[in-house]
Amino acid sequence: MELPKTFDSKSAEERWFQKWIDLGYFKADPARPGKVFSVVIPPPNVTGQLHLGHALNVSLQDIIVRTRRMQGYNTLWLPGTDHAGIATQNAVEKDLAKEGKDRHTMGRDAFVDRVWEWRETYGNRILNQLRRLGASCDWSRERFTLDAGLSQAVTKVFVDLYNRKLIYRAKRLINWCPRCETALSDLEVDHKEAVPGSLWYIRYPLTDGTGAITIATTRPETMLGDTAVAVNPDDERYKSYVGKTVRLPLVGREIPIIADAAIDREFGTGALKVTPAHDPVDFELGKRHNLEQISIFDGTAHINQNGGAYRGMSREEARQQIVKDLEVAGLLEKIEPHTHAIGVCSRCDTVVEPMLSEQWFLSMRAMADRAIEAVRKGDTTFHPKRWENVFFNWLENIHDWCISRQLWWGHRIPAYRCVRCDHLIVAAERPSRCPECDGSDIVQDDDVLDTWFSSGLWPMSTLGWPEETADFARYYPTSLLLTGFDIIFFWVARMMMFGLEFTDKVPFKDVYITPLVRDELGKKMTKSKGNVVDPLDLMNQYGADAVRFTLAQLAAQGRDVILSHDRFAASRAFANKIWNAARFVMMNLEGAPQPLPKVEIVKLGLAERWILSRLDATIREVSGSIDVFEFNVAAMKLYDFIWHEFCDWYIELSKEPLKAGGERQAGARWVLINVFDRMLRLLHPFMPFVSEEIWQVIRPYLDEPNLAPHLPIAKYPEPSATNPLSAAEELAMNHCIEATEAINSLRSLLGWHPGQRVTAVINPGSGSSAQEVEGWRSYAMTLARIEILTIGSTDGERAVSGHLLWADVAIDAPENFDFEVARQKLEKQLDEVKKHEAQHEARLKDERFMTKADPDTRAEVAQRFEDLKAQRKVLTEQLRQLEERARRKKLVKA
Ligand SMILES: [Zn+2]
Ligand SMILES: [Zn+2]
């Protein structure tokens, strides 16, 4: 078998993924022995399109899942999608609008059929996109939150919680989206700060004819529902007003002036109108003072029958008309500009209206306390750990959850009402008769459940719960949840609460919170900024392996992921580097036996044993980093080993023994194959495609009993049982590499091409010896491209030298080398660095910048400043050397 000249990522991706699926490698079997590693995917919305957040999340999950699978765990990674109630309903409604239709004229059943059709067409789009990334999910276990089994779990949980008196019905002030025409939970409301608006000052005449009290409001239209005016009891200005009544302008209702300590004396005039049915603060105030609650809006936020002449107007129309009418009546004192915060529907951006409404609620306090306790005890651990505080904070201040939605797409609430006697029945099955009056006219509640109610059961319901399935018994609780911080409350907290309530177990042992993905400039990616990068485009351009590897490299815990095309290009170059190394190895195996006979470690050369030892260290570091979810560290270690130690160093060093033939050639060949094999296994979870493509070609040379046919089920690499290198040898090889690097940097100091051969001197000091240097002399000559290497004094007349802890190294400059020109060049470079360093320092000292810039930008500037400082030190030392040489040369000439 031969490797083509270049790696064709697209063809490899298609071929291998299908093959792995066909061979059932990702299929979990609860009957198989072994420790369990189970993960449920955060189900993307069926409406979804792959974005970089998904790509990051899925890449990291796949890295750990593939690793565990190769390590012999009984592994399950379960995929699926969420029906995403409101999001999907909105998407289909948009489609209908294009055809001039709407759901109300269609009717519920026809509309729901239409959503199912839509789901058939688009529902698999996102899952196919995850497959393109190489996600090694058990695709035979794909679940959907509206599947029969999952719906059964939802019904059971609702009925049980109702019977436990945790689910109840209540009339409360809730968030209402007039566009979606449904209640929303607090989490589904986005808050926009500092929206420009006005403050209207309106005179409410006192009924006793002694004047008026002026109130200030940001929403004059809600005055139609006012049932009081409130002032602070300590406000001297209004003490005499308390207890009096006013005549509500335009409406005529007589309402009291009340005193309440919650009133802010500084806001407006210090007197406030009270609208209990349309403001959360007023709602509480109203409860304290037994005020009437008058709703003035219908479901679409148009004025209802309680609004008299304004009936039928929208919020905006009513506001305009009311302000105009107040002005005519001489009751509008003034209008001031005023910024305030508003809440909008997170799905459609419509301003949310607080509405008095009867809804289903879930009592959270006791469940939240159990979830807090479980994390405090360490049953579940967050990574990074600081997210635990966010989790505690929210749960400690939790309100009851409004779980009913006035939508059609979702799990319909299993509550029924007897039409004759109004008796309420909550049951898993539709009752045929009313237990109270035996009536048979029974209707089901029209509402559906908040979409997060079913997602909250995901780790249980997808494994078959409440049935006692083999999957549930084997794979629950799951090992890991890997998700974004934005759904810690929506989802993670609720899974914790439901899991504990129904199974007495936490649903997952570890929670890894993925960092946020930002663009090259550190900005959050949003459609409106137009800076969204499509992972599918990236995969087309760089290959899935490069996309996965880059995301892993950038996923440092607690830091945002800053993306740039350079990084993806670098990862593609990495794949190509491995490819070329593989081609080199294959070329040098021509005529070699299959499998290659094993060579005894003691018979190998120093360089051979060194690379084996370096690989051992890399295996430990990579698997250790994955264990603690430091994906970026694991990726970096892999990269450094493969690129530098293996490709740059060892491949160079192997050329000589490969040419030598005989035992030395056999040794080098065996080491190349052995290292390549284990390196590819280590790389596979990160870059599944290029690793498999190469591994198939080297596989015939491997001598392993029961060797796996493909990488996904191959054994994870293990370090050698004993270190192939003694401590002294390890030190010697480190010296060899340090000397090589020092000589390379001296060469670049002279402005020479890296390929230029040099005459070099190494003078070993304490911690080394001439004998030791002799031991690796030939390696250094190869790696540092040395023509003549002397071991001795570096004090030559034409030498530029460098100082290491254990030796001095030097190279000879050519006869006609102009130190003065080199010095000037370097000086210019140094000036440039100094200038930038000063600029960065100034920015760090600039208070305005430091308070305004986001933490990442600040960190970046600080880091760059440190880099420049280090660069300046190196250049200064080099310049000193050149100056000294230039001076000496002048002396010699004189
Ligand atoms: Zn909405
Ligand atoms: Zn009845």
- Ligand in nearest proximity to the CA of 431: 2
Angle (CA) 708-713-716 rounded to 5° is: 95
Q: Quick one: what percent of the chain has pLDDT higher than 90?
A: 71
Strand order, beta sheet including 807-812 = 786-791, 758-764, 807-812, 799-803
For residue 54, the CA-to-ligand 1 centroid distance in Å is 24
- Residue 876 phi/psi, 5-degree rounding, is -65, -40
Q: Quick one: what percent of the chain has pLDDT higher than 70?
A: 98
For residue 85, the CA-to-ligand 1 centroid distance in Å is 12
Task: Tell me if 202 sits within 8 A of 331, measured CB to CB.
Answer: yes
- How far is the C-alpha of 613 from the C-alpha of 421, rounded, in Å? 81
Confidence (pLDDT) at 687: 98
- Ligand in nearest proximity to the CA of 176: 1
For residue 443, the CA-to-ligand 2 centroid distance in Å is 11
- Residue 132 phi/psi, 5-degree rounding, is -60, -30
For residue 437, the CA-to-ligand 2 centroid distance in Å is 4
Taking a 5 Å cut-off on Cβ, the residues next to ion ligand 2 are 418, 420-421, 423, 434, 436-437, 439
Angle (CA) 289-291-297 rounded to 5° is: 140
Confidence (pLDDT) at 156: 97
For residue 182, the CA-to-ligand 1 centroid distance in Å is 8
Q: Which two tokens stand for residue 259?
A: 């005193």
Indicate the length of the chain as a whole number. 894
- Mean pLDDT of all residues in 446-460: 95
Alpha carbon of residue 55 to chain centroid: 9
Band of residue 891 on the pLDDT scale cut at 50, 70, 90: low
Confidence (pLDDT) at 201: 95
Task: Tell me if 398 sits within 8 A of 358, measured CB to CB.
Answer: no
- Ligand in nearest proximity to the CA of 189: 1
For residue 128, the CA-to-ligand 1 centroid distance in Å is 29
For 210, the 3-state DSSP assignment is coil
Q: Which residue has the tokens 């991706």?
A: 13
Confidence (pLDDT) at 860: 81
User: What one-letter code names the amino acid at 101?
Assistant: K
Task: Tell me if 338 sits within 8 A of 198, measured CB to CB.
Answer: yes
For residue 527, the CA-to-ligand 2 centroid distance in Å is 53
Residue 443, number of CB atoms within 10 A of its CB = 11
User: What one-letter code names the amino acid at 606?
Assistant: L
Band of residue 413 on the pLDDT scale cut at 50, 70, 90: very high
pTM (two decimals): 0.85
Confidence (pLDDT) at 516: 80
Band of residue 334 on the pLDDT scale cut at 50, 70, 90: very high
- Predicted confidence (pLDDT) at residue 844 exceeds the cutoff of 90: no
Greater confidence (348 vs 471) lies with 471
- How far is the C-alpha of 609 from the C-alpha of 615, rounded, in Å? 10
- Ligand in nearest proximity to the CA of 301: 1
Q: Largest alpha-carbon pair distance within the chain? A: 122
Confidence (pLDDT) at 1: 61
- Mean pLDDT of all residues in 236-252: 92
- Mean pLDDT of all residues in 443-458: 95
Confidence (pLDDT) at 746: 86
- Predicted confidence (pLDDT) at residue 889 exceeds the cutoff of 90: no
- Predicted confidence (pLDDT) at residue 102 exceeds the cutoff of 90: no
Alpha carbon of residue 192 to chain centroid: 23
- Ligand in nearest proximity to the CA of 175: 1
Confidence (pLDDT) at 893: 54
| Environment class of 403 (CB within 10 Å of its CB; exposed 0-12, middle 13-18, buried 19+) | buried
- Ligand in nearest proximity to the CA of 434: 2
- Ligand in nearest proximity to the CA of 441: 2
Band of residue 51 on the pLDDT scale cut at 50, 70, 90: confident
Confidence (pLDDT) at 528: 66
- Predicted confidence (pLDDT) at residue 435 exceeds the cutoff of 80: yes
- Predicted confidence (pLDDT) at residue 703 exceeds the cutoff of 90: yes
pLDDT single digits (tens) 122-159: 888 888 899 999 999 999 999 999 999 999 999 999 99
Angle (CA) 323-327-332 rounded to 5° is: 80
For 472, the 3-state DSSP assignment is helix
CA distances in angstroms from 642 to 462, 729, 869, 887, listed in the order given: 40, 21, 30, 44
| Environment class of 886 (CB within 10 Å of its CB; exposed 0-12, middle 13-18, buried 19+) | middle
Mean confidence (pLDDT) of the chain: 91
Report the range of poorest mean pLDDT among 5-9, 417-421, 687-691, 849-853: 849-853
E strand map for 32-180: 36-40, 74-78, 80-81, 143-144, 167-177
pLDDT single digits (tens) 623-660: 999 999 999 999 999 999 999 999 999 999 999 999 99
- How far is the C-alpha of 408 from the C-alpha of 402, rounded, in Å? 17
- Predicted confidence (pLDDT) at residue 20 exceeds the cutoff of 80: yes
- Ligand in nearest proximity to the CA of 443: 2
- Ligand in nearest proximity to the CA of 422: 2
- Mean pLDDT of all residues in 63-79: 98
Confidence (pLDDT) at 846: 87
- How far is the C-alpha of 858 from the C-alpha of 679, rounded, in Å? 37
For residue 525, the CA-to-ligand 1 centroid distance in Å is 22
For residue 863, the CA-to-ligand 2 centroid distance in Å is 73
- How far is the C-alpha of 498 from the C-alpha of 505, rounded, in Å? 9
Nearest to 774 by CA among 764, 784, 759: 764
For residue 350, the CA-to-ligand 1 centroid distance in Å is 6
- Residue 246 phi/psi, 5-degree rounding, is -120, 160
- Mean pLDDT of all residues in 456-476: 97
Q: Which residue has the tokens 């690499």?
A: 717
pLDDT single digits (tens) 497-535: 999 999 999 999 999 999 888 777 777 776 667 777 889
- The continuous run of DSSP H or E covering 729 comes out as helix 727-749
Beta bridge partners of residue 37, listed in sequence order: 75
Band of residue 747 on the pLDDT scale cut at 50, 70, 90: confident
- Ligand in nearest proximity to the CA of 418: 2
Confidence (pLDDT) at 794: 76
For residue 126, the CA-to-ligand 2 centroid distance in Å is 47
For residue 346, the CA-to-ligand 1 centroid distance in Å is 7
